[in-house]
Structure 1
Amino acid sequence: MTKHETVKAPTRRSRRSRAGSSIRSAAPGENPHLRVPYITRKIPTYDLLGEDALERIEHTADRILAEIGIEIRGDAEAVRLYREAGAEVTPQGGEADRVRFEPGMLREILKTAPARFTQHARNPANTVEIGGDAVVFAPSYGSPFVMDLDSGRRYGTIADFENLVRLGQSSPWMHYSGGTICEPTDVPVNKRHLDMVFAHMRYSDRAFLGSITAPERAADSIEMCRILFGAEFVDTHCVVMGNFNTTSPLVLDGVTTAGIRTYAEAGQGSIHLPFLLGGAVSPLTMPGAVAQCLAESMASCALTQLVRPGAPTILAGFLSSMSLRSGSPTFGTPEPALGSLVMGQLARRLNLPLRCAGNFSTSKRPDGQAMQQAMMSMMSAVQGGANYVLHSAGFLDGLLSMSYEKFVMDCDMAGALHSYLAGLEVTEDTLGFEALAQYGPGEHLFGTEHTLRHYTTAYWDSALNDDQPFETWDEQGGIDYAQRANTRWKQILRDYEAPPMDEGVEEQLKDFIARKKASMPDAWY
Structure 2
Amino acid sequence: MVLKTKLEVIAQEDYQMIHDASIKILEETGVAFHSEEALEICKHHGARVLGNTVYFTRKMVEEAIKECPKTFSWTARNAEKSVTVGEGFLIQPNLGPVFIQDLDRGKRAATLEDFSNIQKLCQYSDVVHLVGSIPVNPGDVPQNEKHLHIIYETLKNTDKPVIGHTGYRYEARETLDMVEIALGRKLEHGHYVGVAINPLSPLSYSRDALETIMEYANRNQIVFLAPCIMAGVSGPITLLGTALLQNVEILAGLTFIQLINPGNPVLYSIASNTAYMKTGSFIGGNPEGLLMDIINLQMGLDYYKVPTRILAGITDAKVVDCQAGYETMQNLMLGVLGGGHIVVQCMGVLDAIMTTSYEKFIIDEELIKRMIRIKQGVEVSEEELAIAAIQELGHKGSYLTHESTFEKFRSRWMPTISTCESYMDWEAAGSKDVVVRANRKYKKILGEAPATLLEKDLEKSLKEYMNIVKK
Q: In the alignment, which residue of structure 2 is the partner of 1:146?
A: 100
Deviation per CA, 1:392-430: give whole Å up to 9, x if none.
Answer: 201111111111111111111112222222232212222
Is the counterpart of residue 88 in structure 1 residue 48 in structure 2? yes
Is the counterpart of residue 183 in structure 1 residue 137 in structure 2? yes
Deviation per CA, 1:287-338: give whole Å up to 9, x if none.
Answer: 0011000000111122211111111111111121122223232212211221
Partner letter of residue 77 of structure 1? E
TM-score (norm 1): 0.86
CA distance in 2, matches of 1:267, 1:157: 32
Identity of aligned residues (%): 27
Q: In the alignment, is the contact (CA less than 8 A) between 1:139 and 1:174 conserved in 2? A: yes
Shift of 1:483: 2.0
Q: In the alignment, is the contact (CA less than 8 A) between 2:285 and 2:352 conserved in 1? A: no
CA distance in 1, matches of 2:59, 2:357: 43
User: Alpha carbons of 1:320 and 1:352: their partners in 2 closer, same or farther (altered >3 Å)?
Assistant: same
Q: In the alignment, which residue of structure 2 is the partner of 1:451?
A: 405
Shift of 1:499: 6.8
Deviation per CA, 1:480-504: give whole Å up to 9, x if none.
Answer: 2222222221122123236743332
Structure 1 counterpart SS, 2:393: coil
CA distance in 2, matches of 1:424, 1:279: 41
Partner letter of residue 284 of structure 2? F
Structure 2 counterpart SS, 1:321: strand
CA distance in 2, matches of 1:120, 1:284: 40
Q: In the alignment, which residue of structure 1 is the partner of 2:390?
A: 436
Partner letter of residue 323 of structure 2? Q
Shift of 1:103: 3.3
Q: 1:503 aligns with which of 453, 456, 466?
A: 456
User: Alpha carbons of 1:104 and 1:149: their partners in 2 closer, same or farther (altered >3 Å)?
Assistant: farther
Partner letter of residue 176 of structure 1? L
CA distance in 2, matches of 1:80, 1:56: 31
Is the counterpart of residue 115 in structure 1 residue 70 in structure 2? yes
Q: In the alignment, which residue of structure 1 is the partner of 2:159?
A: 205
Is the counterpart of residue 276 in structure 1 residue 224 in structure 2? no
CA distance in 2, matches of 1:51, 1:241: 31
Partner letter of residue 183 of structure 1? N
Q: In the alignment, is the contact (CA less than 8 A) between 2:332 and 2:371 conserved in 1? A: no
What does 1:61-460 align with in structure 2 at a 5 Å threshold?
Answer: 61-73=22-34, 75-91=35-51, 97-131=52-86, 133-232=87-186, 234-348=187-301, 349-457=303-411, 459-460=412-413
Q: In the alignment, which residue of structure 1 is the partner of 2:19?
A: 58
CA distance in 2, matches of 1:41, 1:193: 40
Higher deviation after alignment, 311-320 or 258-267: 311-320
Ranges in structure 1 where 5+ consecutive residues have no aligned partner? 1-39, 92-96, 521-525
Count, aligned residues: 470
Partner letter of residue 31 of structure 2? I
Deviation per CA, 1:1-52: give whole Å up to 9, x if none.
Answer: xxxxxxxxxxxxxxxxxxxxxxxxxxxxxxxxxxxxxxx9765533332133
CA distance in 1, matches of 2:27, 2:285: 33
CA distance in 2, matches of 1:343, 1:417: 21
CA distance in 1, matches of 2:195, 2:409: 42
Deviation per CA, 1:83-133: give whole Å up to 9, x if none.
Answer: 233322111xxxxx01122335312222111111111111111101111x3
Q: In the alignment, is the contact (CA less than 8 A) between 2:132 and 2:150 conserved in 1? A: no
Shift of 1:66: 2.2
Q: In the alignment, is the contact (CA less than 8 A) between 2:332 and 2:368 conserved in 1? A: no
CA distance in 1, matches of 2:66, 2:277: 40
Q: Could you list the structure 1 runs, at least 4 aligned residues long, displaced by more than 6 angstroms after superposition.
A: none
CA distance in 1, matches of 2:293, 2:389: 41
Structure 1 counterpart SS, 2:465: helix
Deviation per CA, 1:230-257: give whole Å up to 9, x if none.
Answer: 234x221001011111111111011100
Structure 1 counterpart SS, 2:73: strand
Q: 1:485 aligns with which of 438, 441, 444?
A: 438
Q: In the alignment, is the contact (CA less than 8 A) between 2:15 and 2:299 conserved in 1? A: yes
Q: Which of 1 and 2 has greater Rg?
A: 1
Partner letter of residue 110 of structure 1? I
Q: In the alignment, which residue of structure 2 is the partner of 1:31?
A: none
Q: What do you get for the CA RMSD once the two structures are aligned? A: 1.8
Shift of 1:145: 1.0
Q: In the alignment, is the contact (CA less than 8 A) between 1:278 and 1:284 conserved in 2? A: yes
Q: In the alignment, is the contact (CA less than 8 A) between 1:340 and 1:384 conserved in 2? A: no
CA distance in 2, matches of 1:502, 1:487: 30
Q: In the alignment, is the contact (CA less than 8 A) between 1:394 and 1:408 conserved in 2? A: yes
Shift of 1:197: 0.8
